[in-house]
Amino acid sequence: MKIAITRLPEKAGSDQSLCREFGHECLIVSPMQARVYDDAVQAFIAAANEDTYDCIFFTSALPARLIGPHLETAARIIAIGPQTAEYLEMAGVAPETLPSHYSRDFVPFLGDWIEGKKIGIPRADVPNPILMNAIAAAGADGYEVPVYALEPTNVPLDTDDAEAILFTSANSYTYASYQKEGLLPIAIGEITADRMRGDGTVPVAVGDGTLMGTLAALNHYLEENGDSAPGLDIDLPRGGIIAVDKPRGPSSHEVAAWVRDMLGMPCGHGGTLDPDVSGVLLVMVGRAARLAPVILSHEKEYIALMRLHGDATEEQIRETVREFVGKNYQRPPRRSAVARALRIRTMYEIEVLDIDGRDVLLRVRCEAGTYIRSLCRHIGFAVGTGGQMVELRRSRSGGYDESMCCTLHALRDSVEQAKEGDTEELRSYIRPPESVLEGIPTVTIRDTAVDALCHGASLAGVGITATDTFKKDADVAVMTAQGELVGIGRALVPSDEIVPGTTGIMVRPKMIIMQPGTYEKGWITKPPAVRPAKPPAPTPTPSYQDGVIAESRDTTPDKRKSLHPGPKRRPADSKKYLSTSKNGKRRGAGEKPSKGKGAGAKSAQKGRKDEKNQGSKGSKGTYNKKKSIQRKKGSR
């Protein structure tokens, strides 16, 4: 599916490659344009490097690109989401990322640490009063610094070739002018979805604030509402993984699209291979497409043919190659589909298989996201002759190697057999989702807890039977007793604190793979409690005096007074006793009256009686002064 994404061109980043991982193509359309305030950017950088702020909160990717490379501060850096964090990491800044990707969770994320701190927020010239009020309520000082302006382009979006449109913010929806007919509307998060619903546009899929989560939600929608291939009768409640031996020529996206058309199910691929690269390509079918983040993190192995531009000895080549084992700086080549930003990738093993003149055959085991083309070029520079990659084949992806792959022709033949009723060969190609859980610790649960998790419930200790070893906040695979993957969750406590059978939430689900209803329901929904109706208030009985109903006060309690108690009212006759203070000046409404003078009707009568009894002993002021002196002596 081709998706139009409303994003600034400066913030598009790796949108295209990410969409391809989920089996889609993206088209960047911009209902707004950014006008950068250069002076404001420089002023913020200067203030940050002078440690004006204790914390800097980047709420979008553009300020991260503008400011990140120039930061030299000890302040705490927070990124709102993974794309913003990626730009900061490219600039050499190590940020923390909000787990929910919403600015409303910024203050809860910092907790008590935020009190008394100064928070700098470089952002667009659109204020966020909810965020600022939350920062102030937490006892901190927030400083919103507009470093760029968002201005509508007032140009209709070119969505003729698109099948869906994904809005990345509420404002991008507001300013977008496009032909709505025939386009599936998608929202990146709940705030954008609320704006769309308020305008009468109901999104078919709502993400978690990230593009990856939104694409996963879209694939789930397509899976639930798509039609299966005609005549293909195969039940995949959790989807599956097909290892395809990709030939040279088609792109990874085209291969995934062909598999989708064969099976009639949404498909994505794990790890892009260029059209001229062959080898292991994992295609995720159905609900297993949600495992894209897991598969993309797998280490890879390649067989590469490198050609040097000059002559070099075998010893020189082998010695130079050994120097590249470990961490390497890389910049993606120009023909790649991602941003050409500097990154670090680890080479776990590089073996020289053969040397024939200037041709060198290499086997490279490396971290995900490594560009072998860049590696060959760097090795050529280090040898001193220059060099380039001539041919490349991926021999392994995670736990899948070449021996586990099928060709597109073999897959097509198995689909035709399945239409005739023989699904055995097709099922042999579709492996279960748990086959890609390389290096992820597991949590085994009871059968009675499975369906509750499939409906979004968190996992408590009473549903756990066994665990592997893991730390708090680690990703864990939630498995049934039969070894089937239910989903991926985040551990709220370390494994050594989990006691099977105890109460308390232990794992929070991140993605659910198993379809609800696969296991029988083992949880009970309690009916809502029915409160008994309150009896009507008794009607006050009137009293009669000489045949006339006497006026009586309403004794029915006033709920508003009990819920919102106000200040106590003074007696009507207390004004003349409380209006002045000792020195004769008028006292405020909240000032406490002085002792011995006008504290109420009773004390006033006592004061008048004492004054009368003293007679010629002196004035009222003299008497009060003497009495005060006697009281002080008595207290001693």
Catalytic residues: 274
Contacts of 289 (CB under 8 A, 6+ apart): 22, 23, 216, 219, 223, 239, 266, 267, 268
Residues 316 and 376: their CA atoms lie apart, in Å, by 15
220-253 per-residue burial string, b: 16 or more CB within 10 A, e: under 16: bbbbeeeeebeebebebebbbbbbbbbeeeebbb
The residue among 364, 400, 363 whose CA lies nearest residue 269 is 400
| DSSP class of 231 | T
- Paired with 556 in beta bridges are none
Q: What are phi and psi of 119, to 5 degrees?
A: -110, 120
How far is residue 82's CA from residue 99's CA, in Å, rounded to a whole number? 9
Distance separating alpha carbons of residues 329 and 344, to the nearest angstrom: 5
DSSP state of 580: B
The tokens describing 330, both together, are 């890389």
| The pair of three-digit structure tokens given for residue 618, joined into one six-digit string | 């002196």
- Residue 58, strand partner residues: 79
Task: Name the token pair of 97.
Answer: 């990322």
Around Cβ 521, how many Cβ atoms within 10 Å? 14
How big is the CA angle at 273 (ends 271 and 277), to the nearest 5 degrees? 150
Provide CB contacts within 8 A for 423, sequence distance 6+: 233, 234, 417
Instruction: Tell me which amino acid residue 245 is.
Output: D
DSSP-assigned states of every residue in 79-107: ESSHHHHHHHHHTT---EE-SS--GGGHH
DSSP for residue 226: P
Neighbours of 122 (CB within 10 A): 25
Cβ partners under 8 Å of residue 461, min gap 6: 498, 499, 500, 501, 502, 503, 504, 506
DSSP string across 264-330: TS-EEEES---TT-EEEEEEEEGGGGGGHHHHHTS-EEEEEEEEESS---HHHHHHHHHTTSEEEEE
CA–CA gap between residue 409 and residue 323 (Å, rounded): 42
Angle at 431 between CA 427 and CA 437, to 5 degrees: 170
C-alpha distances (whole Å) from 522 to each of 335, 452, 499 are: 53, 7, 21
Angle between helices 601-614 and 620-635 (to 10 degrees): 100
Residue 328, phi then psi, degrees to nearest 5: -135, 140
Distance CA 593, CA 578 (A): 7
8 A C-beta contact, residue 392 and residue 333: no
Q: Give, as one character, the DSSP assignment of residue 527.
A: P
CA distance 608 to 472: 75
Q: Which of 292, 279, 257, 229 minimizes the C-alpha distance to 426?
A: 229
